[in-house]
Amino acid sequence: MALRHAQAARHTILIRKGDQVRVISGRDRGKSGRVLSVNPRKNTVVVEHANIIKRHTRPNPAKNIKGGIVEKEGPINVSNVMIVCPSCGKHTRIGRHELPDGTKARACRRCGTTLDK
pLDDT at 4 over 70: no
Q: Determine the structural domain holding residue 55 and report its residue range.
A: 2-84
> Does 92 lie in the same domain as 79?
no
Total structural domains within the chain: 2
Mean pLDDT over the full length of the chain? 91
Same domain? For 22 and 75 the reply is yes
* pLDDT tens digit sequence for 23-52: 999 999 999 999 999 999 999 999 999 999
Same domain, 39 and 26: yes
Q: Which residues contact 72 (CB under 8 A, 6 or more apart)?
A: 52, 53, 55
Threshold 0.85, pTM exceeds: no
Q: 98 with 80, same domain? A: no
Shared domain for 27 and 77, answered yes or no, is: yes
**pLDDT of 106 above 70:** yes
Q: Do 80 and 30 fall within a single domain?
A: yes
Tell me: do 92 and 78 sit in the same domain.
Answer: no
- pLDDT at position 43 is 95
If you ran DSSP here, which 8-state letter would residue 115 be given?
S
Based on the fold, state whether residues 50 and 32 are members of the same structural domain: yes
